Amino acid sequence: MTEQEQLAELLAFFKSLADENRLKIIGLLAQQPTSVEKLAELLGLSVSTTSHHLATLAKAGLVSARTEGHYYIYSLQTETLKSMSRHLLQDENLPKLSEGLGEDAFDRKVLSNFLDTDGRIKAFPVQDKKFIVLLRHVLKSFESGKRYTEKEVNEIFVKFNEDTASLRRGMVEYKLMSREGGGGEYWVN
């Protein structure tokens, strides 16, 4: 599982618990497996509202249901609670929660305005300062110390935008990359 997927799972977990009624459901199910009707009665909620809360908890893997006659009986998945707690509280995982904050607000805003959902450049900004932000974003796809042919550089650039010439020219002009032999080899500065 990638770090991004782990973060999404963690967010879903906390969002599922970020409701007073869902926390009460967790507490009730911790005592014993219970039907949606009984939970609704205990909480003073409608069956449909209680079902909605249970669906949210089930999506996060916190509850499961089994049929018993005409009723669904819900059970708390304590192992999921324990697993998520262990995962979150591991010393090496806590710092990961703040990843991406090293980029300043300006960079994040530029990237959100000029990249599509696939991370491709929608348009090149007129301001140099914004263009450099995009170039630094693209530069992350290159390995430091490795030399690239122009063809290899273009293969990477085309993943971001069809105008590979503007990207190459920008990288060299703003000294993010160097080139040798009029474009024979490129490398990260």
The CATH number of the domain where 174 resides is what? Answer: 1.10.10
Domain shared by 80 and 111, yes or no: no
- Across 158-173, average pLDDT: 92
Q: Kindly report the CATH number assigned to the domain that includes residue 53.
A: 1.10.10.10
Residue 39 pLDDT level (bands cut at 50, 70, 90): very high
In this predicted structure, what is the pLDDT of residue 96?
A: 62
Count of domains forming the chain = 2
Calculate the average pLDDT of the chain.
87
CA–CA distance, 147 with 84 (Å, rounded to integer): 42
The pLDDT tens digits for 74-110 are 999 998 888 877 776 666 666 666 555 555 778 888 9
Domain shared by 159 and 78, yes or no: no
In this predicted structure, what is the pLDDT of residue 80?
A: 84
φ/ψ region of 181 (left if φ > 0, alpha if ψ in -120 to 50, else beta) reads: left
CA–CA distance, 178 with 98 (Å, rounded to integer): 32
Instruction: Report pTM.
Output: 0.51
- Give the helix/strand (H/E) hosting 59: helix 47-59
Domain shared by 20 and 65, yes or no: yes
Nearest to 171 by CA among 181, 150, 120, 105: 150
In this predicted structure, what is the pLDDT of residue 108?
A: 84
Domain shared by 82 and 27, yes or no: yes
Domain shared by 132 and 177, yes or no: yes
Range of the domain at 158: 105-188
Last residue of a domain, one of 60, 78, 96: 96
- Across 19-48, average pLDDT: 95
Higher pLDDT, 71 or 181: 71
In this predicted structure, what is the pLDDT of residue 92?
A: 67
Last residue of a domain, one of 96, 118, 133: 96
3-state secondary structure of 71: strand
For the cut 90, the answer to whether the pLDDT of residue 32 exceeds it is yes
Domain shared by 35 and 53, yes or no: yes
Last residue of a domain, one of 67, 96, 125: 96
